[in-house]
Amino acid sequence: MTDWTEKYRPSTLSEVRGNDKARDALAKWAKTWDDHREAVVVYGSPGIGKTSAAHALAADMGWETVELNASDQRTGDVIERFAGRAAKNATLSGSSTGTSTRQLVILDEADNIHGNYDRGGSSAVTKLVKSSSQPIVLIANDFYDMSRGLRNACREIEFRDVSSRSIVPVLRDICRKEGLEFESDALKQIADMNSGDLRSAVNDLQAIAEGRDRITKEDVVMGDRDRSVGLFEFLDAVLKEKSAQESLYTAYDVDETPDDLTKWIEDKVSLVYEPDELARAYEFLANADKWLGRVRATQNYSYWRYATDNLAAGVAASRDRTRGGWTRYGGAPYRSTRNKTRDTVVRKIAENGGFSMATARREVLPYLSALTHHCKPRELTVAMTAYYEFDESHVSFVTGSGETTNKVQSIVEDADELREELVEEHAGGAFAGMENVEMADGDVSDGASDDVLDRDTDADDATPTEDESETDDGQAGLSDFF
Ligand SMILES: Nc1ncnc2c1ncn2[C@@H]1O[C@H](COP(=O)(O)OP(=O)(O)OP(=O)(O)O)[C@@H](O)[C@H]1O
């Protein structure tokens, strides 16, 4: 089946929804390019039409496009060779007929050209941007992840998340073109669920429409991701707005098991909390996890109550303040592939760090996630990746950088390089020192036990004392491989 996001990609700027100002600014930039000759950075969240806008612009202007991925071809040489040649040669593909006088160079992932490995790439792009005889659009998620030199060399245009009001007409058009009947509320529901991300709204529409010729609000609500409607209220209550007690009551009202609620909170808390709050929240999540383990082991479901206390009231109490505004929570956590990934990640942490599986999962993984949230700091993320021999899926799982796979890929490549360097330097003993690192909790690997009952079963642990929450738990090794 054709991917609807491709099938309905805007072909002209006027079809790019939302972001009218940004769209106009982009058109103006292109029309006046001969006067200023500056490159432009288009930045904003994934799935809101940045790349589509660049291509649509080229189509409107009658320009050809050359698309490069900055982090796929990162070295200065490669960028010089490909982008440089393309940008300086308007007749590369025989377009000297006059219909296409320009080539628009679209440089994706412009915020992923940094770190040691990419340094050459970044200055090459900056040089190219300054000297190009062709218009260049750089695409980035985060403007401030670009080097200062590159930022200063470009104009900037921000694309904002697409409002639900702008998403609905796109979905409606697609339904009409597909001959699909719909209830307006169903489309509104899909738009609301996807919090500004048009690509995922279109994906949801396609998933829900499969096998149907009419979609109702009920179809949407029954769909997998629809449970998240009530869940978003719950997430807002716990992570942003409500007191511990009110959060607990909200948790009782959500039609989900404490197992799933724990996964949601675990997955989304780092989007909202500051590091101090996060550390406290993870303690409560670890406790919730213990109680869930006890339920599994004993089938005594009355323990669920304690899990809920921890995951709702405990996590809410870990907050320093309430927050307003709107958070883009994204989709459901831990789809089946992610569970497998989590198991592998935990095993690697356990094996390399000398922990039991239970300690790795409950106590080390959350800290690694907090330390390397969204791959920052990058050097630490690279070091972690090298030490635990993580691949892309593992890094994305730990850091939460799932959507920016190129960022993750570049980290894995740098980690491979780091490992090779260290292997060369130490002739195979690169991380030998790590094996001797004594772990603070003395929890030496027991090989495989993932049973939560292998740790203390003291009910008091639902509310850790301040001392306990500050106890170092096996992070002793991090600084050694950094
Ligand atoms: N503003 C929009 N108007 C119309 N369709 C859109 C818009 N934004 C996204 N889409 C739909 O989502 C798809 C993906 O959009 P696009 O690749 O342009 O997003 P992006 O912002 O460049 O995302 P990324 O940063 O992940 O590359 C498009 O093919 C289109 O189907």
Atom of ligand 1 nearest to the CA of 8: 31
Q: Is the dihedral of CA 116, 118, 122, 123 positive or negative?
A: positive
Residue 303, pLDDT score:
79
Rounded-to-integer distance, Cα 337 and Cα 159, Å:
31
**Could you tell me if residue 362 is inside a domain?**
yes
Q: Average pLDDT for residues 248-256, to the nearest whole number?
A: 80
The per-residue pLDDT for 150 is 87
* Phi (first) and psi of residue 213, to 5 degrees: -115, 5
Q: Is residue 168 part of a domain?
A: yes
DSSP state of 19: -
The response to whether 308 counts as a known ligand-binding position is: no
Highest-scoring range by mean pLDDT, 82-96, 213-227, 242-256, 448-462: 242-256
Cα–Cα distances (Å) from 387 to 170, 381, 417, 422, in that order, read 46, 10, 12, 11
**Count of domains forming the chain:** 4
Do residue 398 and residue 460 come from a single domain? yes
Cα of 58 from ligand 1 centre, angstroms:
16
Distance 27 CA to ligand 1 centre (A): 17
Q: What is the rounded average pLDDT of the residues 133-147?
A: 86
Are residues 427 and 406 part of one domain?
A: yes
Q: Which mutation among 8, 9, 161 tests ligand 1's pocket best, with the greatest number of atoms within 8 A of CB?
A: 9
State residue 84's pLDDT score. 54
User: Is there a single domain that holds both residue 153 and residue 10?
Assistant: yes
For ligand 1, atom 4, the nearest C-alpha belongs to 16
Mean pLDDT to the nearest integer, 133-150:
86
Q: Which is more confident, 471 or 398?
A: 398
Please indicate, yes or no, whether the overall pTM of this predicted structure exceeds 0.90.
no
Question: Taking the mean position of all CA atoms in its chain, how far away is CA 455?
Answer: 33
**CATH number for the domain harbouring residue 139:** 3.40.50.300
Nearest residue (CA) to ligand 1, atom 17: 51
Instruction: Kindly state the DSSP code that residue 414 receives in the 8-state scheme.
Output: H
Query: Which residue among 12, 15, 50, 52 is best mutated to probe the pocket of ligand 1, counting the most ligand atoms within 8 A of its Cβ?
Result: 52
Burial of residue 113 (CB within 10 Å: 0-12, 13-18, 19+) is: buried
**Atom of ligand 1 at shortest range from CA of 18:** 1
- Residues 109, 129 within the same domain: yes
Supply the residue whose CA is at minimum distance from atom 9 of ligand 1. 49
Say if residue 364 is in the same domain as residue 399.
yes
The residues, any chain, with a CB within 8 Å of residue 464's CB and separated by 6 or more, are 283, 287
**Least confident residue range of 45-49, 124-128, 188-192, 305-309:** 124-128
Kindly report the protein residue whose alpha carbon is nearest to atom 25 of ligand 1.
46
Asked whether residue 153 falls in the same domain as residue 217, the answer is: no
pLDDT band at 197 (very low <50, low <70, confident <90, very high): confident
Q: Residue 299: CB partners within 8 Å, gap ≥ 6?
A: none
Q: Average pLDDT in the 315-336 region?
A: 80
Q: Quote the ligand 1 centre to 55 CA distance (angstroms).
A: 11
CB atoms within 10 A of CB 283: 23
- Taking residues 126-136, what's their average pLDDT? 83
Ligand 1 atom nearest to 159, measured from its CA: 21
Pair type for strands 64-69 and 214-215: unpaired
Q: Whose CA is nearest to atom 8 of ligand 1?
A: 49
CA angle 194, 198, 201 (to 5 degrees): 50
Q: What pLDDT score does 145 carry?
A: 78
Distance 22 CA to ligand 1 centre (A): 14
Confirm whether residue 149 is marked as ligand binding.
no
Mean local confidence (pLDDT), 474-482: 43
Separation of CA 5 and ligand 1 centre (Å): 8
Is 324 within any annotated ligand binding site? no
Residue predicted with more confidence, 443 or 153: 153
Domain boundary among 103, 131, 158: 158
DSSP state letters, 356-397: -HHHIIIIIHHHHHHHTGGG-SHHHHHHHHHHHT--HHHHHH
| In a domain? residue 326 | no
Q: Whose CA is nearest to atom 29 of ligand 1?
A: 9
The structure tokens listed for 123 are 């200055």
What does the alpha-carbon distance between residue 434 and residue 387 come to, in Å, rounded to a whole number? 9
Q: Tell me whether residue 45 is annotated as binding.
A: yes
Is 135 annotated to bind ligand?
A: no
Could you tell me what percent of the chain has a pLDDT over 70?
A: 74
pLDDT of 253 over the 60 cut: yes
In a shared domain, residues 56 and 142: yes
Query: Rounded to the nearest whole angstrom, what is the distance from the C-alpha of residue 192 to the centroid of ligand 1?
Result: 17
At 481 the pLDDT is 47
Q: Is residue 177 part of a domain?
A: yes
Tokens representing residue 438 in the block: 């004594």
- Ligand 1 center to 10 CA (angstroms): 8
**Among 77-86, 225-234, 298-307, 364-373, where is mean pLDDT lowest?**
77-86
DSSP string, 144-212: GGS-HHHHHTEEEEEPPPPPHHHHHHHHHHHHHHHT-EE-HHHHHHHHHHTTT-HHHHHHHHHHHHTT-
Averaged over 159-174, what is the pLDDT? 93
Contacts of 302 (CB under 8 A, 6+ apart): none
Same domain, 388 and 466: yes
* Residue 345 in domain: yes
- For residue 283, the enclosing domain spans 243-317
More confident residue, 89 or 122: 122
**In a domain? residue 238:** no
Q: Write the residue with the smallest CA distance to atom 24 of ligand 1.
A: 46
User: Residue 170 — very low, low, confident or very high, per pLDDT cuts 50/70/90?
Assistant: very high
40 membership: H or E segment, kind and range: strand 39-43
Nearest CA among 58, 44, 20, 24 for reference residue 136: 58
Q: Of 117, 133, 158, which residue is a domain's last? A: 158
Q: Tell whether 47 is in a known binding site.
A: yes
* Cα(56)–Cα(49) distance, integer angstroms: 10
Asked if 255 and 351 sit in the same domain, the reply is no
ipTM of this complex prediction, to 2 decimal places: 0.96
Distance 417 CA to ligand 1 centre (A): 33
Residue 427, pLDDT score: 55
Report the half-sphere exposure of 238 (CA within 13 A, side-chain side): 33
Final residue belonging to a domain, choices 136, 158, 180: 158
Q: Is the pLDDT of residue 462 over 70?
A: no
Does 108 lie in the same domain as 133? yes
Residues 116, 56, single domain; the answer is yes
The answer to whether residue 359 is domain-embedded is yes
Mean pLDDT of all residues in 254-263: 85
Distance from chain centroid for Cα 55: 24
Highest-scoring range by mean pLDDT, 30-39, 288-297, 337-346, 348-357? 30-39
What gap in Å lies between CA 289 and CA 346, rounded to an integer?
A: 15
pLDDT tens profile 289-313: 988 988 887 777 777 888 988 999 9
So what's the pLDDT on residue 188? 92
Return the structure tokens found at 308.
């809920």
Mutate to test the pocket of ligand 1, among 198, 206, 407 (most ligand atoms within 8 A of CB): 198
> Strands 181-182 and 39-43: what pairing?
unpaired
Residues with CB under 6 A from ligand 1: 5, 8-10, 16-18, 46-52, 141, 162, 170, 198-199, 202
Same domain, 150 and 168: no
The pLDDT tens digits of the residues spanning 7-56 come to 999 999 999 999 999 999 999 999 999 999 999 999 998 789 999 999 99
Which residue's CA lies nearest to atom 12 of ligand 1? 199
State mean pLDDT over 343-371.
80
Q: Worst-scoring range by mean pLDDT, 44-53, 127-136, 228-237, 452-461?
A: 452-461
- State CA 223 to chain mean position distance: 23
- Please check whether residue 392 lies inside any domain of the structure: yes
